[in-house]
């Protein structure tokens, strides 16, 4: 075999190895039940803030401790402990993506929060739609 063919085969083998290792790192959104079954793994859980339950944040006592409740996509409500400051406009978020793992205390310990906030343009879009309908009449 030529040197160029051998090098090409090695490059292809390395590329396949890299692709396979990356595919294993892609994560999907899981539920709190899955996180309870595998407490040693980090999961991304998507859910909604349970506004009827209390949120605890006292920056004078510990500015890096925030506790709240989230309902996941199956409807299970779980207490979440976030090690960080409370995000701005947290109560206004529509959906929350939590990255973390289930602790031995049966609380979801979160290291990162991503929030999907309601669009400030939603009302404007509705108003524009109504105006265009009236203009057509």
CATH of the domain at 98: 2.40.50.140
Number of folded domains that form the chain = 1
Contact predicate 100/109, CB 8 Å? yes
pTM of the predicted model as reported, rounded to 2 decimal places = 0.66
What confidence tens digit (pLDDT) does each residue in 7-25 have?
999 999 999 888 877 665 5
Residue 10 in domain: no
What confidence tens digit (pLDDT) does each residue in 66-94 have?
999 999 999 999 999 998 889 888 888 88
Averaged pLDDT score across all residues of the chain? 83
Q: How far apart are CA 132 and CA 137, in angstroms?
A: 9
Residue 1 in domain: no
Residue 83 in domain: yes
Q: How far apart are CA 2 and CA 26, in angstroms?
A: 37
Residue 99 in domain: yes
Q: 55 in helix, strand or coil?
A: coil
Residue 82 in domain: yes
What pLDDT is stored for residue 85 in this prediction? 87
In terms of residue numbers, what domain contains 102? 28-120
Residue 23 in domain: no
């Amino acid at each position: 075999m030529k040197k160029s063919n051998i090098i090409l085969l090695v490059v292809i083998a390395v590329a396949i190895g890299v692709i396979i290792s990356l595919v294993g790192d892609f994560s999907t959104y899981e539920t709190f039940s899955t996180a309870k079954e595998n407490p040693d793994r980090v999961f991304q859980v998507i859910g909604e803030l349970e506004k009827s339950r209390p949120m605890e944040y006292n920056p004078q006592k510990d500015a890096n401790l925030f506790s709240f409740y989230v309902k996941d996509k199956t409807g299970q409500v779980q207490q979440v402990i976030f090690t960080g400051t409370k995000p701005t406009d947290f109560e206004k978020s529509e959906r929350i993506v939590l990255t973390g793992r289930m602790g031995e205390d049966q609380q979801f310990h979160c290291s990162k929060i991503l929030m999907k906030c309601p669009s400030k343009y939603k009302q404007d879009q509705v108003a524009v739609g109504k105006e265009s309908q009236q203009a057509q009449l």
